[in-house]
Chains A and B, each alone.
Chain A
Amino acid sequence: MKKIAIIFNQAPHGTAKGRETLDLVLALSDINQISVFFIGEGVLHLLSNQQPDKILMRDYITTFGMLELYDINDIYICSTSLAQYNLASQQLIIDAKAVTKQAIAHLLVTYDTILHP
């Protein structure tokens, strides 16, 4: 088992990166301990009321609700990025711990592996 940090740092839907990173999160959690980080544009993944079907995309956003079922509880979101997009934690689809950029930098050094799209 390894302690793995997986980072979402790009906006959803414009590329397949977000969707394929989420698949990675769920698949790697079988025998590893996963933490998920939303940084920069990546914070937009957790916005509620998205309608990807309007742009002919699969709604993988609802699948973030599965993280808890997969025992993935360490979910961090960058408070600096949230502020940049003028977003409040209440607008997010799942509970994520809002932490500063500096705190994220300190956290990331504690992982065996860091993966990002």
Chain B
Amino acid sequence: MNTNVLHYTVIIMGPAYGTQASFCAYQFCLSLLNSGHQLQSVFFYADGACNANAFTYPANDEFDIINAWQTLAKQYQIKLSVCISAAQRRGIVIGELNHNIATGFELTGLGELSENISRSDRVIQF
């Protein structure tokens, strides 16, 4: 049993496709949760906001990172926070007419990241 539980904040700055950042972050999050550590939220900033685009359709033989994040969030009750200004600049929006934010992701501000970091034992950026 792990007696030394650490609270983590994970920040993702790479998009869902084109860099390895989000994939590495996902594997890291799985590992830390399996080791008994705490992860309250994952924060998507800059190009990382692209992970929240519901219109992302990877081919059948590719790993679906967006679906993986959604499943992880559900299973471990983790908040998937996305910086609202980073998201809007990249065309990821919540609106009455247009809506393409993937289920399970929440638009929020950098203020939340600031608070998360201040309360965490470890902060890891991908």
- A: interface residue count bin: 10 to 19
| Chain B interfacial residues counted at CB < 8 A | 18
Q: Choose among B86, B109, B110, B120 the residue with the greatest number of A CB atoms under 10 Å from its CB.
A: B110
By a CB distance below 8 angstroms, the chain B residues around A32 are 114, 117-118
Q: Find out whether the CB atom of A2 lies under 8 angstroms from the CB atom of B125.
A: no
Give 17 pairs: A residue, B residue, CB < 8 Å, sorted on A: A2-B117, A2-B120, A16-B46, A16-B89, A20-B45, A20-B46, A23-B85, A23-B110, A24-B110, A27-B109, A27-B110, A27-B113, A28-B110, A32-B114, A32-B117, A113-B117, A117-B46
Whether B123 and A113, one on each chain, are in contact in the complex, defined by CB atoms closer than 8 angstroms, is yes
Binding site secondary structure of chain B: helix
Q: Mark A1-37, 1 if CB is under 8 A from B, else 0.
A: 1101000000000001100100110011111100000
Whether the pair B11, A115 counts as a contact (CB closer than 8 A) is yes
CB of B62 within 8 Å of the partner chain: no
| Chain A proximity of B90: nearest CB distance (Å) | 10
Q: Are A27 and B11 in contact (CB under 8 A)?
A: no
